[in-house]
């Protein structure tokens, strides 16, 4: 039977947010089932994000002990649902969308209920810290061959967060040619990804950091200065 990893409550007692660090537990779960345009993916890598730390500290909304942890993952498609349009998905290595409800609108989630991130909450029943996961074919992208499983798994939620900050929140017109973008605290995954997005969109990017090494790295990635 497949295995998955969950947060585990402590003695069933209520806790105060920020005053707990939930343990994790491995459990046996039912084999995945499939319907419609879904794909079954055998996961080969999953990635941590800061939200997973917040979940363990009970600092993230909607925490669930019944949903596998983690939002980011990479794996191989092993089975197709009966109405999958693209039959070539089978056998491909894919990156999962780390949530549902936002596919291609640059202004934000299309779903009226908003974007639901996978892993560890009641908002979506799936997480990537398990052997298999079932998702709709519209929620995957083929993983680039030049990235390892670990590298590819580390990209989605970081990239989404950077995109949301740069495009959805700052505004698409404010990150194109002729725009100036300031990224504070350069060095983390989201900041570095936002830098590369902005550079590719033609913006003049400047960064701040207490580390000259990080500023130099950012300049090497296309920042104008720091």
What CATH number is given for 155-226 in this structure? 3.40.50.720
For 1-149, CATH number? 3.90.180.10
pLDDT tens digits for 84-127? Answer: 999 999 999 999 999 998 888 877 788 888 889 999 999 999 99
Express each pLDDT in 124-156 by its tens digit.
Answer: 999 999 999 999 999 999 999 999 999 999 999
Average pLDDT of span 186-199: 96
For residue 186, report the phi and psi dihedrals to the nearest 5 degrees: -65, 145
pTM of the predicted protein model: 0.91
pLDDT band at 48 (very low <50, low <70, confident <90, very high): very high
* Same fold? 1-149, 155-226: no
Q: What integer pLDDT is reported at residue 114 of this predicted model? A: 83
pLDDT at 12 exceeding the cut of 80: no
Place of tokens 């345009």: 37
Question: Average pLDDT over the chain, rounded to whole?
Answer: 95
**Domains in the chain: boundaries:** 1-149, 155-226
Contact 191, 183 (CB under 8 A): yes
Residues paired with 141 in a beta bridge = 95
């Amino acid at each position: 039977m497949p295995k998955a990893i969950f947060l585990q409550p402590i003695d069933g007692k209520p806790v105060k947010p920020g005053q707990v660090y939930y343990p994790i537990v491995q459990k046996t779960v039912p084999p995945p089932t499939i319907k419609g345009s879904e794909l079954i993916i055998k996961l080969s890598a999953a990635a941590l994000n800061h939200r997973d730390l917040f979940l363990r500290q009970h600092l993230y909304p909607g925490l669930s002990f019944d949903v596998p942890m983690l939002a980011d993952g990479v794996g191989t498609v092993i089975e197709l649902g009966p109405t999958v349009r693209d039959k070539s998905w089978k056998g491909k290595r894919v990156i999962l969308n780390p949530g549902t409800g936002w596919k291609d609108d640059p202004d934000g989630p299309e779903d009226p209920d908003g974007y639901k991130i996978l892993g560890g909450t009641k908002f979506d029943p799936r997480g990537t810290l398990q052997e298999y996961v079932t998702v709709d074919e519209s929620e995957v992208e083929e993983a680039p061959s030049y990235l390892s499983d670990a590298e590819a798994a580390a990209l989605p939620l970081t990239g989404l967060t950077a995109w949301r900050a740069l495009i959805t929140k700052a505004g698409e017109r404010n990150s194109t040619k002729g725009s100036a973008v300031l990224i504070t605290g350069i060095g983390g995954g989201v900041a570095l990804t936002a830098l590369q997005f902005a550079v590719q969109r033609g913006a003049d990017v400047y960064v701040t950091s207490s580390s000259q090494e990080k500023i130099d790295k950012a300049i090497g990635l296309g920042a104008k200065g720091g």
